[in-house]
A and B are shown apart, each in its own frame.
Chain A
Amino acid sequence: MSFDNHIATLKYAFPKTIPILAGFMFLGISYGIYMNSLGFGPAYAILMSIFIFAGSMEFVAGSLLLGPFSPLSAFFLTLMINARHLFYGIAMLDKFKGSGRKKPYLIYGMCDESFVINSTTDVPSYINKGWFMFYVTFLNQIYWVGGTTLGSLFSSAISFNTDGLEFVMVALFVVIFLDQWMKERYHVSSVIGITASVLCLVLFGPDNFIIPAMILILLALSSIKKILEKREVIS
């Protein structure tokens, strides 16, 4: 791909990531400040943002570092908190095909937000899909690591009232859901996703509902496979 093509792809990818820029700068700075408040130097926050690159898990990891040394429980806690990535992988199996050497990075950097953009964007034919997904993932990681760096280095200097800015992530997910809703012919899967999650949230509480919700979604979608195929909802 030529230099001009890279610029064109970057120009197409950047606007899609602007909400993430806002959200990750804010959350990243918060994470830097949080780690600083726990007594960890900037190197911890920055390296963890680069290598873990999973927002909520990084906050949890910060508190794990202050507790008793227990790698096994840290491992299983990580698997549970990040289990939703398994669904992202299954959904992206086909989309990542043919992305060549970029594929390991696309998988490594697949946070919630990169998954959401990469799975919903219909890239026009003049843009290379693999490179588009690469730039989305890479930009998002730059925002996150950049925010973390700023937060851990300049935590005392930030003074304007940012209360509520974290809502930008909620807004992003709501908009993605609405976009999907407006474009789909049948709302079965969307309705299953919301219903199963709300049900499990009520039953299991905010800290434990994701895995039961995932299992319930899997069961529900599997049980209606035959019906959906008969009605030709899926090709």
Chain B
Amino acid sequence: MSVTQQILIIVVVVAGTMITRFLPFLIFSRDKETPQYIKYLGYVLPPAVFGLLVVYALRNVSFTSFESFLPELLAVGLIVILHYWKKNMLISIAGGTLCYMILIQFVF
């Protein structure tokens, strides 16, 4: 690929990304009242999207053997316990991440 072609590919990727971000705002501009159905979606979607993001972040975890997903399982378990106990986002995130790093660097 020539440099011009590379730039064109990057421009296309930027355009595609921006379409996915701007489209809802372009369709439902502020002049018109947002349809009831879209308002409903705007209200109920976030919890479902957070669920989707959790699965998305863990999508490459392998379930071929128990050991292959044990670090993820233990770290997520620790996050749940920490979060219900301390209710502090930073403690839960730092605790879970450190636990995962120690597990994959020294245990598994």
Q: Which residues of A contact B (CB under 8 A)?
A: 15, 18-19, 22, 44, 47-48, 51-54, 57, 61, 64-66, 68-69, 71, 74-79, 82-94, 96-97, 103, 107-108, 110, 112, 116, 119-120, 161, 163-165, 167-182, 184, 187-198, 201, 206, 209-210, 213-214, 217-218, 221-222, 225, 228, 234
Contact = CB atoms under 8 A, between A and B. Distances in A.
Given A52-B13, A90-B41, A165 B54 contact: no
Contact of A71 (B9, B19, B22, B83): B9
A209 B18 CA distance: 21
Given A90-B42, A96-B25, A175-B79, A164 B97 contact: yes
Contacts, number: 257
Residues of A contacting B: mostly: helix
A82 B44 contact: no
B45 A171 contact: no
Contacts of A89: 20-25
Contacts of B34: 93-94
A65 B9 contact: yes
A93 B59 contact: no
Interface string B32-50: 0010011111111111111
A177 to B, nearest CB: 4
B94 to A, nearest CB: 8
B25 to A, nearest CB: 6
A189 B44 contact: yes
Interface residues on B, range: 35 or more
Interface string B53-92: 1111111100000000001100110011001100101101
Nearest to B51: A193
Given A65-B9, A90-B41, A173 B54 contact: yes
27 contacts: A15-B90, A53-B17, A71-B9, A75-B15, A75-B16, A82-B21, A84-B20, A91-B42, A108-B21, A108-B22, A163-B104, A163-B105, A164-B71, A164-B100, A164-B105, A167-B97, A170-B58, A171-B75, A171-B92, A175-B83, A175-B92, A177-B50, A178-B84, A178-B92, A180-B50, A197-B54, A221-B41
